[in-house]
Every structure is written in C-alpha cells, then in structure tokens.
C-alpha cells in the first residue's frame, strides 16, 4: 500500500468506460456508455439511477467482477486493467450481503484477513474491532441464518471494512431492509464513513437515500452519466429533464431560448435565465412544487413571476397541501405548508401561482 501518498490522488478515476453485454444471437446491450468520473479520496459518492441504468455494472467493474469493454479504471492512480477482484484494493458490500452461510459471523468477518494471510494473532483483534464497530459483539458465534436482515447487513459491512480497503463499494446495501431500519442505517452508514475515513462508492435507486448521505451524486440513465454534483446542486440546478424528474417532484414549463439571458415560456411570458444554448433551442424550465406559491387571483406580489390558473385538485397531506393547478397551456403542482381549512383554496378557485425567478432551472432533453 502507498499509505499517505494516497491523499493526493483521486480514489477512483473512470475514463471512457464502456461495458457491452452480447448474447449468442448477436444482439448487444450497452450497459455502461462512455462513463468518465473522478471520485475524491474520503468522499461519500453515490451512483443514482433507475434499475437497469448501469450503476451496478459500473460498480462491478471497479470491483473487478466485470471487465470493461473499453476505457480505463484507476484506483489511487493505479491502472486496474484485467486485475482479478482478489488483487484489487477494494471491497464490496453486496445487495444480497453474500454472507457465507456455513461460517459464523466471526469467520465471515475474518475471511478476507485469512485469505491475505494476516497472522492469526493480529486477525483476532481486527475481527473483534470490526464486529464491535457495527455493534454485533454478542453475535460473533452465530451463523448468518440466525440473524435478522439488519444484522446481516452489519456483518456484511464489518466483513468489508475489516480489510481497510482503499475504496468501499456498496451495492444497494439497504434495499432489503424495511423503511424505518433503512432510515436508521442511513445515518449510521454516514457516521461510520466519517469515522473510518474510507472512500465510499454507493449505488442506489433511492434518491432520498442518495441525497441524505452523499457528498456528491452521479445520476445515471440508460448507461450514461448525466450529471455529477452535490446533492443540493442536483436538486436545485438539475441539468437535464431526467435528472430533475428523477430527484423529487417537479414541474416543467416548456420554453424556447430567446437569448443568452432570456427564455420565452410557451404562453409568451419572458423569463430572465442565463443559458449557453443557441437562441431558438427548445428547453424546459423546471421549478419544484415547494418553490411555488398559490394566491387569490391578482394578489401575488409584484416582484415574483406569475402564472394564472384554476385549482383542479387539493390534496391534504397533514403537514402540507398539494394543489393541482390547471393553466391553459399546462398543469402545475404546488406544495404549500398546511393551512387551516378556512384559509385553503378549493377546487374551481381562480388563482395566481407565483415563483422567484432564481428558484427555477433550465433543463434540456
């Protein structure tokens, strides 16, 4: 291991990575399409996308369980090439955990150390420490079948972390847990990562999970990496329609680029919005439901951008109210903090919907 020099180099670099799967009938599927990506040392990085978008395949290529059709994968500057998984400085937490059913928790955790021929005396202490880290001390002598899903998940984590990998790869590790446990594990995972300081590459299709845990997120769709940014930037300034739609709820207002700092909405309204698209390009303006406000017709403040419409639906959520507002050229969703029933708009009301110009983002695709 290179020790301290690792700090200066990115933990993982993908350059032009392509993976095609072919079957015998000759049809080829491009699972990963020209992905280039740099993940910093000590970063919590998430690959986010719907199932089949290529995120797991990307992770498996870093682990060495799949070999790329083209492109290069480096870990701390070292080219991985055709290296088999057992010769790579990474460990994986599998979606199914892949715990060895015929071994106890302690044996499972010690497997990697044993394979690397760490002397027995050192092994014991490392195993105990790792099991303690995930709070499974009392279960060391149980077999995986005697553990709950959450406990198995912890063991899988300890089994990977005990080896002090340069990069820890996690493939939807919380997918099999129920919602409450998942929320709890999200917090624990994030704390654990901060504690051990290892680079985490986390694959998930759950946007909330990615947003709460990650330092940065890479959104993938159909094999391509669409946007890499902080959770906030991805949410507030999505670059494509897919990203905006995938991360949370949103509204799209069809528009055309009028100039470098102006777009024209489909109803003819003009909006000051910088873009590097040529004039005349078809784009969309996206604005989150919670960034919209509903007013009685004509009562909107003058400094906000406004659209007139008519309430089509009202959904009471307890802590919020969702208004569906029909505008003659589209439909908007507005999320308002819940107000008392008397102060609520009702279906059929004529209203004005308003938003701050800086709360919108321009997307393509």
* Residues of the shown chain interacting with other proteins in the complex, contacts defined by CB under 8 A: 63-65, 84-87, 90-92, 94, 96, 98-102, 111-112, 115-116, 159-160, 163
Which residues have CB under 8 Å from 302's CB, separation 6+?
none
Q: In this complex, which beta carbon is closest to other proteins, that of residue 115 or of residue 282? A: 115
Angle in degrees, 0-180, between the axes of helices 179-196 and 120-133, rounded to the nearest 10: 130
Give the 3-state secondary structure of residue 138: helix
At its nearest, how many Å lie between other proteins and the CB of residue 85?
A: 4
CB of 86 to other proteins, least distance (A): 5
Distance CA 59, CA 65 (A): 9
Provide the token pair at 4.
Answer: 């301290």
Least distance from C-beta 55 to other proteins, angstroms? 17
Q: What is the largest CA-CA distance in the chain?
A: 78
Nearer to other proteins among residue 49 and residue 64 (C-beta): 64
Which residue, 42 or 85, is less far from other proteins as judged by CB? 85
Q: How far is the CB of 61 from other proteins (least distance, A)?
A: 13
Instruction: Return the number of the residue (91 or 227) whose C-beta is nearest other proteins.
Output: 91
Least Å distance, CB 136 to other proteins, is 17
CB of 350 vs other proteins, minimal distance in Å: 58
Residue 51 structure tokens: 């199932």
When the beta carbons of 134 and 362 are compared against other proteins, the nearer one is 134
The span from the CA of 296 to the CA of 354, in Å, is: 11
Q: Decide whether 131 or 257 has the Cβ nearer to other proteins.
A: 131
Q: Write the DSSP assignment of 174-237 as a string of letters.
A: TTTS-HHHHHHHHHHHHHHHHHH--EEEEEES-HHHHHHH-SEEEEEETTEEEEEE-HHHHHHS
Give the whole-angstrom CA distance, residue 57 versus residue 171: 10
């Amino acid at each position: 291991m290179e020790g301290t020099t690792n700090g200066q180099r990115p933990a993982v670099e993908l350059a032009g990575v392509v993976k095609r799967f072919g079957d015998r009938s000759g049809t080829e599927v491009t699972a990963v399409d020209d992905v280039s990506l740099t993940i910093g040392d000590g970063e919590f990085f998430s690959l986010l996308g719907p199932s089949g978008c290529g995120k797991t395949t990307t992770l498996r290529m870093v682990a060495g369980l799949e070999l790329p059709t083209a492109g290069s994968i480096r870990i701390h500057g070292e080219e991985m090439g055709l290296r088999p998984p057992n010769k790579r400085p990474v460990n994986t937490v599998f979606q199914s955990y892949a715990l060895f059913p015929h071994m106890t928790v302690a044996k499972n955790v010690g497997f990697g150390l044993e394979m690397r021929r760490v002397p027995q005396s050192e092994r014991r202490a490392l195993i105990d420490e790792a099991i303690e880290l995930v709070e499974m001390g009392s279960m060391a002598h149980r077999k995986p079948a005697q553990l709950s899903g959450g406990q198995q998940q912890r063991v899988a984590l300890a089994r990977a972390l005990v080896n002090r990998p340069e990069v820890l790869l996690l493939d939807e590790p919380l997918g099999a847990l129920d919602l409450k446990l998942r929320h709890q594990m999200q917090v624990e995972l994030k704390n654990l990562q901060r504690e051990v300081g290892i680079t985490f590459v986390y694959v998930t299709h759950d946007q909330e999970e990615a947003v709460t845990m990650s330092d940065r997120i890479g959104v993938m769709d159909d094999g391509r990496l669409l946007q890499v940014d902080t959770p906030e930037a991805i949410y507030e300034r999505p670059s494509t329609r897919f990203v905006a739609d995938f991360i949370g709820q949103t509204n799209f207002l069809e528009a055309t680029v009028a100039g470098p700092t102006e777009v024209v909405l489909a109803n003819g309204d003009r909006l000051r919005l910088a873009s590097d698209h040529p004039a005349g390009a078809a784009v969309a303006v996206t604005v989150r439901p919670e960034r919209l406000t509903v007013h009685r017709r004509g009562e909107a403040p003058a400094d906000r951008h406004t659209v007139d419409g008519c309430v089509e639906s009202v959904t009471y959520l307890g802590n919020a109210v969702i208004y569906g507002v029909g505008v003659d050229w589209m439909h908007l969703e507005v999320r308002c903090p819940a107000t008392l029933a008397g102060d609520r708009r009702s279906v059929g009301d004529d209203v004005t919907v308003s938003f701050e110009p800086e709360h919108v983002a321009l997307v393509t695709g």
